[in-house]
Every structure is written in C-alpha cells, then in structure tokens.
Structure 1
Amino acid sequence: MSRAAVPYAELRAALPGIRGPARAPSIPPYSELPPRAATRYALASQALGLLLLACHVLLVKESIWLFPVAIVALAWLYANAPLVGLAVYFQILLYQNLLISIFSPGMSYMPNFVALQGTNFIALAVMAAIALNRLLTPTWRARVGGVVLTVLVALAATAFYTFIGAAKEGLTSAMVYFREFTSPAFAVLVGLDVGRRWGYRTVGLCLLTGAVLAVVLGVVEYWVPIEYYSLTNAVSFMRLKWFAQPEGNTFYVPQDIVRHYTGVLFNITGGYTGYGSLTSFRFGGPIENPISYAYVLAVAGLVGMSLRRSGWLVAVLPLLVLIGVKGAGLLVAFSLVLWVVWQASRSKPVLLASGVALTVAYTGYAIVNGLSNNDFHVIGFLGGVHGLLANPIGHGIGVGGNLSANANAGFRWTGEGGFTSTGADFAVESAVGVLIYQMGLASIAVFAVFVALLRAAPIGRAVTRNGVARMTPRRQDVLFLAMAMVVVNGIFQEEAYAPYAAGLLALLCGIVVTNGARPSLLVRQPPVA
C-alpha cells in the first residue's frame, strides 16, 4: 500500500504542537519610483527643504533658542516618511551655507552663526538616532547588526576622546572634529535605514535632481563672481566664517573673495605662481567651500554614471578641472579606473589586487614627491604619524588639525621657522594624520566603520548562463570603489572624511547594502515609513 507524502504545512496545521525549524522573518521588497515620478517627488521635496531651511536660518538669526524648531520638523518627516526626510536633508547639506550667506548681514557670530553652521550635522545625527531605533529590530539586527555594532563602538570611542579634547582645547575645537569623524558613521545608519524601504535608484535620482541647482550656481559663480558674491552677501558670510582668525579682516569687497580663492592649479605646494603660471579660481558653489563643493560634484558624477546617466559625469569633469581640487579629481579618476578593471576582469581578487597596487603607488609617489616640495598635506600627515608614535593613546579630539585652536593661535605655514620648513608638533591637512594624532590607536574604531561597510558590500551579482555561474558587475559597485578611494584620500586631505565626501558616499553605500539582493517593487506613490 503506497503512502502519499503529507506536506509539512498541512501536518503542522493539523498538529499545532509540532515545532518545526526556525525560519528567518521574511523581508518585503524595497520600493522604487519611476524616473519621472522620482524627479517630480525630488523637486517637491527640494522646495519643501529650501523653505524649511530659510525659515530655520531666519529663526535662529533672531534667537538661538529657536534652533530646535526645524530639527524637530525634519525628525517628524524622517520618522514618518524616510524618503521625504532624506530628500530634505540633501537640501540642507547642499544649500545650508548659501541661505546663511544670504541672511548673514546683521547676524551674530556667537552663538547664532556657529550654531547655524552645524545644522546639517545635527540633522544627520537626529536622523541617525531614528534610524538606529529601526535597525535594532530583530529582522534587521540579524542582517546588518555587525555593521551597526561597529558604528556604535566608533561613536562611543569618538565621544570619549571628544571629552578629553574639549577639556584641553575647548568645546568649539573638539566639536569641529567630532563632526568630521562621526559624520560617516551617522550617515551609514541613515543609509542602512532608508535602504530598508527605498531603492538606491530612487534615492540617487533625488540627490541628482537636488544637485542641479548647485551645479548651476557654481557655473554662475565662476563666470560672474563679483555679481554672485554681491547678490548672496558673501562678504558678510566670509567675515563671519573667518571671524576667529586673522583672515576675517581681509574681506571687504567681493574682489577680496576672488583673490582668496585664486591660487596654483590643483593647489600644488611649491608651484610657480608668477607670470604665466597655471592658476585656478576655486569657486565654492552654494556650499561656499571649494573642496567640499568639488567632492559633491565628484559624487554626483559617479552617482550619475551608476544610474546610466553619464551626462552627469561629462558635465562635472570640466568643473572639477576648473575648480582645481586634487582630491576630488583623483577620486573620480581612480574610481573609474578600478571600475574598468572590475568590468574587464569580473574577478574580485583581481579588483582587490588592483586597488591595493593603485593605493600603494599613489601614496608612495605622493609622499616622496610631497617631501621634496614641502607639501602641506604630506608633512601634516607625517606630523600625525609622529604624534601617534610619541603618544599611542592619543591627544584628544580637537587637539591638532588646521581647524583647531592650536593652528589658529599664531600658526605659521611658510617662511623661516614655519610649518613647511620645520614641521609641526601636531597633524594638519590630513584626515588620517589628524585622526591618528587625536585618537591614537583608538582610531582603529573609526576606520573599522569603513571596513565593515566595504565588507558588507554586495559587489556584483552571480549570473548563470549555460550552467556556468559568472560574476557580473553592477554599475552601483562604483560607489564602494569610491568609498575605498576616499578613505585613502584622507591621508592627504583633511576634508575627505567630511559630510560632503565620505559622509555622502557612506550614506549611499548603506542604502545599497540593505537593498542587497532583494527584489524591488515599482510604486507610483511613495508610502510612508
């Protein structure tokens, strides 16, 4: 007598007492908007974000006690509609300084202006706290718990060293570097959270749509800088920005800003600056900082390339050449070189070996050449290495660095007895150098965040053809290549770990990580939460 097999589900329904093997909770697909819908959505979010930002600047200009109003509004948006909240945050990141500049006449330096400059960081930190609460649910803790734990350890270590640095150098200096070294960690949490519900394509389109105005403003600034600075009250902004340093008394007319931002092409230390030399006007766009603006352009170009909108790459490359920022230009160049290697070889070992070889060649050449030319960045990095060897425990966050109280107190860059001829007692002009000087061996916790994110990267996808499995690259893989290269760039550029560079890339990479290999669901209207 034959016996038919009884399906497990039917048997369990008939006998509820039977316990089967534990199953991981199912995860729904992430959502994607059609390109046109995503663009319309991004434009509406941009209008909302700029309105909220303008109100925030005007309120804080009147009273510092009104600072939380806009932050609470953003927190509510992000908690209930993550995509809206993130799109609004992009506007704060890109246009915060422009709005501050426009309304800067009559603004007090302390505490109003200083507080406003920290708006994008406070917004990111609040969003990260909301994101952490959602990522600690059992479903997501099982999948990204390792990355989240690494981030929490890094934040705890950084907070500890910030207290030490604040006791030595003051709260302002400590908070400047706390912001820089924790922004990528906070951005990872936000990216992981948004990626639970939304796909990278939709978020990337929101970023690119919001960045169109930033590109246009940069072009206008390059062609008619005097008129641009007059309309945006840039002189008032620069006097506030440099208020605590001697440079603050050098800005009286828009022409002073042009002179301040004009120098040797790609800022090559020791470069010839006489008649016939190659110079560049380092325009800063709405961010009003050339290096940060160049990194935003670089990331936008790579995001456009990853979304098959290579016109973005074509558009930003000339701007990167004109602005003359080495780090951002090399970020794009090296990321594309590694992408070509990955596309041609389709081999992770080959990609890894190529990345290591490129890193060794780049850093080796830069250090040797920089020492021969007394390059600020190389000597500043070695100052961090010497500081680490002298005190492996670290000096405290805010102690050292060219934005610290040490550097502001009569620090000399050139000339007899200056930094380039005798070195410095602390690290400057190098994110890696400053980090290892300030945190010592504990800086490993910060670097571990980048390593954890790269290890979790879903690089490529396996495709089976004719019974043969083969690794196929995905265009969004270029984000992780760029993430790795910006970490290396930190050796020679202090701004590499800022929210506009490593922070923005970490956020986008986090989205791709939680998207993973899940299927996507095309939706017409964005759902909440």
Structure 2
Amino acid sequence: MVKSPQGAIIYLRNIALPLMLFQVCLTVAYAHRPNVTTSLIFLATLVMLLGYFEFLFRDEWFRLTNSHAYWWLNSTDAREAGLYFRIAQIHRQVMTDVLDAFRVTLFNTALLSDLDLTVLRVNGPNFHSISFAYAISFLALFLFSCRRFVLFALILPILVFTSAKGALIVLLLATSMTLASTVFQGRIVLAGFVGLMCLYIPFVIISGLRVGDYHVLGLIGGVKGFLANPIGHGLGSGGNLATNFGELDWENAQKSGETEAAVESAVGVLLYQMGVAAFIVLGFYYWVGFTVWRLFDRLRHPQFCVAAYGLFAILVNGLFQEEALFSPLSLGLMLAFAALAIGSAARTGVLDPPAVPTLAPEAAGRLQPLGDPGGRP
C-alpha cells in the first residue's frame, strides 16, 4: 500500500476475485441443484450476436457504446508519455485514428507475420479484446461439452475476430483432450497433455526471445525479480495494471532480453509481487484442476474433462499473459465452472471414496453437475 495504493488494490482484487467466484459456486452447487445450462446458452447466444454486430457494423457499434470517447480517454497515459510519437519514430507507424490501435497481425504473433494478414480486433461489450476472447473460449467450451455443436461452430469466428491466440489455445487444448479421452484412458491423455506442454512452453520461450516478444521478456523479468527477492516486492509492484506502458523502454528490454519489472506474464507478476507465497495460489489452482480431472477419470462426464483441461491450459497461458489469471472472464469463469462440478459431485456423494465399489456407478447416474431437471447435461 505504501509503494502503490492503487496497484495494491487492483492486484488484490485480481487475485482474490477468482477464488471468491470458486467459493460462491462451490457453495451453491453443494447446497442446491442449479440449472445453469439454459442461462449459459442464452448468454453465449447474446454474446455471439454482440460480437458479430461489432464486427459487421463497427461504426454503429461505436456510436451506440460511445467507444471513440472511451478509447481516447483510455489512451491518455500513452499519449502523454509520448508512446505514439516513439512508435512513429522507430517503426514508421503513424496513429491516425482509434481503429489503428486495433489492427494487429493475425493472432498478434510474429510467427504469422510473413502471411501479411491483419485483423481489426473485436473488443466486445467489455472493451477488452483478450478478456472478451477468453469469455468466448469458455462459452464455446461449455457449448461443446453440452453438445450444442451448431452454436459452438457459430461462435468460433468471433474468437478469430478477437485475434487472441491464448484463448484459442485454451479452446484447442481442452477440446482435443476431451476428444482424445473418448478413445484413450484418462491417465494416458493426461500424460500426453503434460508432454505436449513440456514442448510448448520451451518453444514459446525460445521463439519469444528470438523476436523479443514482450510476454517472454516480462516472464524473465518477473522470475529474475523473484530470485533477487524471494519474499516478494508487494502487490502492485510491476504488472500491466499498475504500470504506464508509455513509459516503458521496450527497445532496451528487447536488447537486454528481460524487463526491469514483471509485466505481461501473470506467473511472473505473481512471483515478483508475492514471492514464495505465489506458489500457494498457483498450487491451489492446480489442485482444483486435478480434483476435477480425477472426477472425470471416475465418471467420464465430458464437462469435468473440459473444466479440468481448460483450467490447466489457462494456467499454462498464465506464463505468457496477465489476462489468463487476472481476468475474471478467464480464470474466474473456469474456476466457477470447476466449482460447480466439484460442488455437485460432493452433494451427490460422488466426490467421497465409496465404501462399496458398486455404489459409484449409482452415484454417477444421479450426477447432473450442470443439468436441468429434464436430465440433459
């Protein structure tokens, strides 16, 4: 609080809110039998329509939402720090309109820059393309687990329009692991996922260092800051939401291969701010994911598989994105989903080891974690 009152409050909220959502949904699912399927399908349809409206009728969307005024105010710190002037000097890119800030290479990665494909990002009703992408990814996964494949297919283009690779990776990993689990044993699929991550994480780090990717540089800065002070620098020290990006010297960070403080990486920011205490928070997230995975391994319910691997994928993304762990529409939604599954399993007695082995299938038959009284999942 002494170092950065506003930053401390922001990051306390970011870290606590997903845990609070988990507790609320766990309690509700244990005490009652909530029917969230209809509500989430309606929400997915509404969000999908809003996404298409913004993409197809952007001028009308900007007028309805007063977007020009919002984005002008949102960029005040960057303008006053001279960020756009430096971009024009170094990269010869002149900002002429608010929309220029939304034009990015497909999925905002240098790996696809040779394709020369640019996307005018959809930001959604929450005015943040990456958080909106994670919300779309979660809703798409829920539709997939409920076998609403038509809506699932219709909502996917919105995810592409946001051009957020992290949310797309979560969707691809969770769906592919769920499909693989219908063919192979759960432990084999889990081992395959771990092996894939052991290849994916080094690949992102190595390729990111070659091109000077800010997410990788921020992760390295966070880890080095943690090693220099394992107790932590305090909430609000570093991090995207407590930093004026217009004042950061990215060119120097790319030359040195690291940032001075943790930015862009949620795991790096947690380690930098909380020190060794960050492992308690991260460990709890993994425990939740493994608990849901064990329930899937026993019951073979697809929603449990989606919740488990969706949570694992988001945690991996947390190495390279702040939004993965600090956005309520990312980790918050996935923890809430996992909590509904765990709470429902505890309510029906499936979570506890059965005294007689034959009781488990009976309990599994009664389990409808996110279902309606009609028996649909």
Taking structure 1 as the reference length, the TM-score comes to 0.60
Candidates 27, 40, 43, aligned match of 1:207: 40
8 A Cα contact 2:50 2:125, kept in partner: yes
Match of 1:136 in 2: none
Candidates 494, 501, 517, aligned match of 2:322: 494
Match of 1:283 in 2: 122
The separation in 1 between residues aligned to 2:157 and 2:111, in whole angstroms, is 25
Candidates 410, 427, 434, aligned match of 2:247: 410
Match of 1:353 in 2: 191
8 A Cα contact 1:307 1:476, kept in partner: no
Match of 1:220 in 2: 53
Task: Specify every segment of 5 or more residues in structure 1 that has no aligned partner in the other structure, as ranges.
Answer: 1-165, 463-470, 525-529
Match of 2:231 in 1: 393
Task: Specify every segment of 5 or more residues in structure 2 that has no aligned partner in the other structure, as ranges.
Answer: 85-95, 349-365
The separation in 1 between residues aligned to 2:110 and 2:254, in whole angstroms, is 10
The separation in 2 between residues aligned to 1:174 and 1:229, in whole angstroms, is 33
Aligned length: 339
- CA displacement at 1:176 relative to structure 2: 2.0
Superposition pairs for residues 110-125 of structure 1, below 5 Å?
Answer: none
Match of 1:506 in 2: 335
Q: Does 1:323 align with 2:162?
A: yes
The separation in 1 between residues aligned to 2:110 and 2:218, in whole angstroms, is 13
Letter in 1 for 2:341: V
C-alpha offsets along residues 381-421 of structure 1, whole Å, 9 cap, x if unaligned? 1111111111111101110112224x44721323xx3x322
C-alpha offsets along residues 87-113 of structure 1, whole Å, 9 cap, x if unaligned? xxxxxxxxxxxxxxxxxxxxxxxxxxx
Match of 1:229 in 2: 62
Q: Secondary structure of 1:291's match?
A: helix
C-alpha offsets along residues 291-345 of structure 1, whole Å, 9 cap, x if unaligned? 0111111000000111121223212222222221110010101111211222211
Structure label with greater radius of gyration: 1
CA shift in 2, pair 1:177/1:504, >3 Å: same
State, as a whole percentage, how many aligned pairs show the same letter: 30
The separation in 1 between residues aligned to 2:320 and 2:14, in whole angstroms, is 15
The separation in 1 between residues aligned to 2:171 and 2:313, in whole angstroms, is 9
Match of 2:202 in 1: 364
C-alpha offsets along residues 207-259 of structure 1, whole Å, 9 cap, x if unaligned? 231232222111111112122102211122223434444379999xxx83321
Letter in 2 for 1:336: T
Q: Secondary structure of 1:459's match?
A: helix
8 A Cα contact 1:335 1:482, kept in partner: yes
8 A Cα contact 1:387 1:427, kept in partner: yes
Q: Secondary structure of 1:503's match?
A: helix
Superposition pairs for residues 60-459 of structure 1, below 5 Å?
Answer: 166-169=1-4, 171-199=5-33, 202-246=35-79, 256-269=97-110, 272=113, 277-345=116-184, 347-405=185-243, 407-408=244-245, 410-414=247-251, 417=252, 419-422=253-256, 423-457=258-292, 459=295
- CA displacement at 1:520 relative to structure 2: 5.8
Q: Secondary structure of 1:403's match?
A: helix
Q: Secondary structure of 1:287's match?
A: coil
CA RMSD of aligned residues (A): 2.5
CA shift in 2, pair 1:372/1:308, >3 Å: same
8 A Cα contact 2:177 2:193, kept in partner: yes
Q: Secondary structure of 1:285's match?
A: coil
Candidates 293, 300, 305, aligned match of 1:477: 305
The separation in 1 between residues aligned to 2:301 and 2:6, in whole angstroms, is 45
The separation in 1 between residues aligned to 2:161 and 2:192, in whole angstroms, is 29
CA shift in 2, pair 1:277/1:322, >3 Å: same
- CA displacement at 1:513 relative to structure 2: 0.2
- CA displacement at 1:365 relative to structure 2: 0.8
C-alpha offsets along residues 7-53 of structure 1, whole Å, 9 cap, x if unaligned? xxxxxxxxxxxxxxxxxxxxxxxxxxxxxxxxxxxxxxxxxxxxxxx
- Say which is worse superposed, 203-212 or 276-285, in terms of deviation: 203-212
CA shift in 2, pair 1:185/1:512, >3 Å: same
C-alpha offsets along residues 99-141 of structure 1, whole Å, 9 cap, x if unaligned? xxxxxxxxxxxxxxxxxxxxxxxxxxxxxxxxxxxxxxxxxxx
8 A Cα contact 2:290 2:308, kept in partner: no
